[in-house]
């Protein structure tokens, strides 16, 4: 079967949306229409019988709005405080939107230490499993009050791969502000071209992904997404990077269409997630 066609059969899907896809480009304010469209698509996936997990950034942006802040937060503690304010509001909005389509959202806040610690990992995995059994949609974010790793380095790119591996997901979709992975950063190199499929994540690809990011709120860049891809494919999970400006891309990906960059899974024998977390 053609490789893209196989995505139609994926049952458990983790979707990560970055801050840049959930906010207005010019102002950094939350894009509620985008949140609503995303919610509708995820509810459709539930309707198709899929297990759905959303990893959502955006807490700092919502916190910034709540505090009527015009300037970008600079210090880490300022970002953490805004995330604490924004996370509750972000969830309130998601709860309301999902309820409109008769779905239930649940909040999971975790850090990479949750995955490292045996008891925490055991508990988190059981909670995910139980929520998915119940038909709820877990919405995950880094617990920014106690950790700053994703705020500083990954904008939840790594976290989404940990979650996908932890829950034995079948597919991880990273929604970004770009159509997929290019041969070079297209914002710097106009000759860069989109790579539709990565069969094997060789060094050559790793050198193409640059970490510098032009977005104000996103912090990951392509380097963080390639880290996520390594975890996903070695855990046996296909991963797609696609543009979050059109959330219907999610449905097209699951319909086997050629959207974004597909990283093909190659489960590593004796895969152990702990080996991927510093």
Decide: is 28 part of the binding site for ligand ADP (CB under 6 A): no
Nearest distance in Å: CB 72, ligand ADP: 15
Decide: is 209 part of the binding site for ligand ADP (CB under 6 A): yes
**Binding map of ligand ADP across residues 129-168, x = CB under 6 A, - = no contact:** --------------------------x-------------
**Binding map of ligand ADP across residues 234-253, x = CB under 6 A, - = no contact:** --------------------
Considering only 4, 10, 13, 21, the residue that binds ligand ADP (CB under 6 A) is: 21
Decide: is 213 part of the binding site for ligand ADP (CB under 6 A): yes
Considering only 220, 242, 247, 250, the residue that binds ligand ADP (CB under 6 A) is: 220
Nearest distance in Å: CB 17, ligand ADP: 8
Decide: is 56 part of the binding site for ligand ADP (CB under 6 A): no
Decide: is 72 part of the binding site for ligand ADP (CB under 6 A): no
Whether the Cβ atoms of residue 161 and residue 172 lie closer than 8 Å to each other = yes
Considering only 187, 206, 245, 246, the residue that binds ligand ADP (CB under 6 A) is: 187
Contacts with ligand ADP, residue ranges (CB under 6 A): 18-21, 155, 176-178, 181-182, 184-187, 208-210, 213-215, 218, 220-222
């Amino acid at each position: 079967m053609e490789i893209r066609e196989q995505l139609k059969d994926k049952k458990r899907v983790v979707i990560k949306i970055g801050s840049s896809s959930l906010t207005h480009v010019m102002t950094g304010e939350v894009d509620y229409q985008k949140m609503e469209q995303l919610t509708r698509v995820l509810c459709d996936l539930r309707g198709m019988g899929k297990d759905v997990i959303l990893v959502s950034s955006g807490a700092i942006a919502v916190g910034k709005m709540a505090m009527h802040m015009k300037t970008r937060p600079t210090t880490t503690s300022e970002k953490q405080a805004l995330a604490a304010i924004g996370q509750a509001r972000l969830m309130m909005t998601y709860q309301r939107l999902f309820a409109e389509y008769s779905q239930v959202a649940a909040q999971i806040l975790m850090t990479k230490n949750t995955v490292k610690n045996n008891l925490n990992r055991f508990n988190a995995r059981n909670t995910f499993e139980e929520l998915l059994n119940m038909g709820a949609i877990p919405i995950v974010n880094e617990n920014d009050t106690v950790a700053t790793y994703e705020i500083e380095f990954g904008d939840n790119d790594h976290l989404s791969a940990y979650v996908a591996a932890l829950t034995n997901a079948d597919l991880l979709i990273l929604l970004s502000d770009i159509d997929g992975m290019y041969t070079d950063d297209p914002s710097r190199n106009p000759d860069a071209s989109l790579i539709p499929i990565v069969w094997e994540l060789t060094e050559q690809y790793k050198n193409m992904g640059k970490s510098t990011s032009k977005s104000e709120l996103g912090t990951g860049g392509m380097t963080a997404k390639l880290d996520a891809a390594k975890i996903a494919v070695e855990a046996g999970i296909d991963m797609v990077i696609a543009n979050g400006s059109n959330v219907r891309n999610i449905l097209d990906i699951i319909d086997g269409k050629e959207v974004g960059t597909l990283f093909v899974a190659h489960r590593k024998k004796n895969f152990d997630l702990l080996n991927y977390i510093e």
